[in-house]
A and B are shown apart, each in its own frame.
Chain A
């Protein structure tokens, strides 16, 4: 997966937006190369941009756009997603999310009632996450130039200077923790699209993570790194963590929290839940000593009842993610390549 993969002549496909290798390569070779600076080069979910406010804390800044179809799905909608997603990008950097901006691009003909519902759920989500939406923009484009509603949100948060996170703090022996079932958002949205006619009670896990993360940070200084495994699923996020590092990650298949219905949807369509999106999950890399107290803190929170230790950082297979299968064999887990498509025949 060369970073210098040729892009000339190629067109953007949906694969470039699916959170896998193609998007990774595009961001690096097209954007990061041109915008290069010390903050962007952190390549984390939020940029930690020092303390321009001068009171000793660091400012974190992030942005994300939301284009989910359908707009409403079991467990959430584009509005809730737009608030939670940006809140979570700040929270996984250890920041307390404070302020959000929101930009709407709305297609001509979109019902105002729909927009109202979306705004309602943004307000609810902002209240739940304890953030204020303090700036906004609203644009309308001709019919066909957008799909109903697109939302961009940017967020600012504050992080105590005494905390530092980074891949460089990760050591062999550290544990990999997650706060519950994987793949729910991806499966819920796929089912809601209705293309495959599957009926289920699968709900998106869409939720603001700043509460549970602050509980985790309160009990431990041993949290090395956090990420929210959204597009591309936990496989892609763990690969981003291990890529180019002097450590590897081993996942334990038997420990993966997977709901029966998500597992069943995957069996039927030939999907791998490791690559399905999550919108209310945090993966935390925690020192072995602190892993049980962090796990306890997670389980005490409503968003963490099913928290598990799902793997471990290893000195072996540096740069790679390997899964110990149910049968005790080991197999390599790669990043998502392109979109996950159902395979039938």
Chain B
């Protein structure tokens, strides 16, 4: 099992970032990310002190809309 949470990048410096969730901040390593276009404001999945994946915001939004459509809510 792998506890990992979505956290927002609030500061970027080389291969490290300060990320934030609900007012709690931590420094994480970006060594494992392929992304070279990370920006402050992006969300990453954080596990054991590393960002392991950048969250795809467009995809997340579209998927939620799609889900609501499938549930005949939209």
Contact = CB atoms under 8 A, between A and B. Distances in A.
B26 A198 contact: yes
B3 A344 contact: yes
Interface in A187-238: 191, 196-202
Interface of B: prevailing SS: strand
Interface of A: 191, 196-202, 260-261, 263-265, 267-268, 270, 343-345
Contacts of B7: 268
A268 to B, nearest CB: 6
A199 B26 CA distance: 6
Contact of A199 (B1, B5, B25, B46): B25
Given A344-B48, A345-B48, A265 B1 contact: no
Contact of B22 (A197, A199, A263, A344): A263
Contact of B3 (A196, A201, A343): A343
27 contacts: A191-B24, A197-B27, A198-B26, A199-B24, A200-B23, A200-B24, A200-B25, A201-B23, A202-B23, A202-B24, A261-B23, A261-B24, A263-B22, A264-B21, A264-B24, A265-B22, A265-B24, A267-B5, A267-B22, A268-B7, A268-B21, A268-B24, A270-B3, A343-B1, A344-B3, A344-B47, A344-B48
A197 B5 contact: no
Contacts of A264: 21-24
A191 B24 CA distance: 10
A198 B47 contact: no
Contacts of A191: 24
A265 to B, nearest CB: 5
Interface string B20-50: 0111111100000000000000000011100
